[in-house]
Structure 1
């Protein structure tokens, strides 16, 4: 089982709701990155939002190894300009057992600011995610520790946003952001956002590369099966997770739209 490069092909592999899980699949090398990135859009994204690049001194060698892997000159920022995916590097500090974010080149974040995350250990990075500590943290730590150079793993998720922009940084409460959404217009006013996340260990430096490919579509453009899945999934989010995602502000309209499409 592999992962595609669109919301419609990613959603069937995403968690529908309920308990958190990693949901990893193994990829071949040719499936790792989007084969036809819009490099002009990448350059514009970083130019518009330069704070998306956050580097520590520790990231220099892993960043250069990554750039060489992508056949570009430079380090982490240049590597991210050459791919559709936002790229983050994590490694252990000497004397520590935890992985920390040592570099981020993120043009299209999903409600997070790299400047607030740089240098943090893995569990602190995920602290805002309801249920992460209880349901996922130990498994993620074990995966990171045992990941070997060579294999590439991937997973995907989904969010509902009030904008189709690739850079999603909500600047108002959900009740305001989704105030215009109704069951009748939800197909055009709700946007489904999916992250195609990949993980691999770099062979020379041992750093772990976390790639995030962003895909966004209006709800009404998705397949009937995916619309129906989202209508059910939004009702079964982990306690607290739905509030963080703003679900109470849009769930009624999404569910009614999905039911109308199925009728």
Structure 2
């Protein structure tokens, strides 16, 4: 991916508690389309060709409600892209041509049927975002359909059809700190008030597809402070949530940003917040984020970099 200034810096200096951190989302800001669009499109096409069952999934849908919600999402995306991103998404017959490659993604029911695509699959092909659709069932909101080609340490097959509590249960502290708030939010969000939030991790890979890697508790012997700047990546998820007006389903968009920590070397204020956040993470969160593998070297590098930027040390 293109390396530059990180667009999102979600750490506050306090990682001791989980927070939803929801913010109002303007319609024109729903999607983030940038110079890496073609890279994401190519990655998704490769994943959908090589391992489709790992990246697209839909629950049993006897009444067709999940399919209807997926159609509604696709319609919303198509209209939004043509209005707000017309330089990269151009109407082409029964589809939309995406990026400089101009690959046409079908968006009408007849075109989808001819291509043999589920609408959630087509939705994922249109954008850099991955998508999940949540629907209300007697046991709560469940993950009912998804196109996820860029997961960060989770496996779609393990989450499909599960209530939100089960989807998030591996996250340390979720049950005590967020479960009831998330359930209330899903019940109350309106189509007129979409929201967005950020999540972050540190990784040692630039791969967009990273389903594994949780619970690495032992320090990586090959990861030392002198290589952190180039070998550890800040991976941020920009997550959007909105209710679809017809179906009432809640749509979750996940947009990945990834930058080497070295691009923050001239931002001692940001690095200091990151270090404070890491140091305040509870043990369960440290393990879930695999900070045991990264934290010693990362903190050593940050401390040295911040000290070197202090007046009198430059």
Q: TM-score, normalised by structure 1?
A: 0.90
For residues 43-89 of structure 1, the C-alpha deviation after alignment (integer angstroms, 9 at most, x for no partner) is: 23433432110112242110011111122334111011101101000
Contact 2:217 2:291 in 1 (8 A): no
Please list every run of 5 or more consecutive structure 1 residues that lacks an aligned counterpart in the other structure: 1-5
Per-residue deviation, 1:232:
1.7
Structure 1 residue 87 corresponds to structure 2 residue 131: yes
Contact 1:196 1:212 in 2 (8 A): yes
Greater alpha carbon shift after TM alignment, 84-93 vs 178-187: 178-187
Per-residue deviation, 1:97:
5.1
Per-residue deviation, 1:21:
0.6
Q: How many residues end up aligned between the 2 structures?
A: 256
Equivalent in 40, 53, 57 of residue 56 of structure 2: 53
What residue in structure 1 maps to residue 193 of structure 2? 151
Per-residue deviation, 1:216:
0.9
Contact 2:219 2:292 in 1 (8 A): no
Contact 2:16 2:282 in 1 (8 A): yes
Structure 1 residue 215 corresponds to structure 2 residue 257: yes
What residue in structure 1 maps to residue 70 of structure 2? 63
What residue in structure 2 maps to residue 3 of structure 1? none
Equivalent in 132, 137, 147 of residue 105 of structure 1: 147
- SS of equivalent residue, structure 2 residue 196: strand
What residue in structure 1 maps to residue 46 of structure 2? 44
Q: CA RMSD in A?
A: 2.1
How many Å separate the matches in 1 of 2:28 and 2:295? 37
CA pair 128-15 structure 1, distance change in 2 beyond 3 A: farther
Contact 1:232 1:255 in 2 (8 A): no
Per-residue deviation, 1:221:
1.6
What residue in structure 2 maps to residue 119 of structure 1? 161
CA pair 112-177 structure 1, distance change in 2 beyond 3 A: farther
**1:1-263 to 2 correspondences below 5 Å:** 8-12=6-10, 16-36=14-34, 37-38=37-38, 39-50=41-52, 51-56=54-59, 57=61, 58-71=65-78, 72-73=107-108, 74=112, 75-93=119-137, 96=138, 98-170=140-212, 174=216, 178-222=220-264, 224=267, 225-263=269-307
CA pair 154-189 structure 1, distance change in 2 beyond 3 A: same
Greater alpha carbon shift after TM alignment, 41-50 vs 201-210: 41-50
Per-residue deviation, 1:169:
2.7
CA pair 103-237 structure 1, distance change in 2 beyond 3 A: same
Please list every run of 5 or more consecutive structure 2 residues that lacks an aligned counterpart in the other structure: 79-106, 113-118, 308-314
How many Å separate the matches in 2 of 1:64 and 1:208? 13
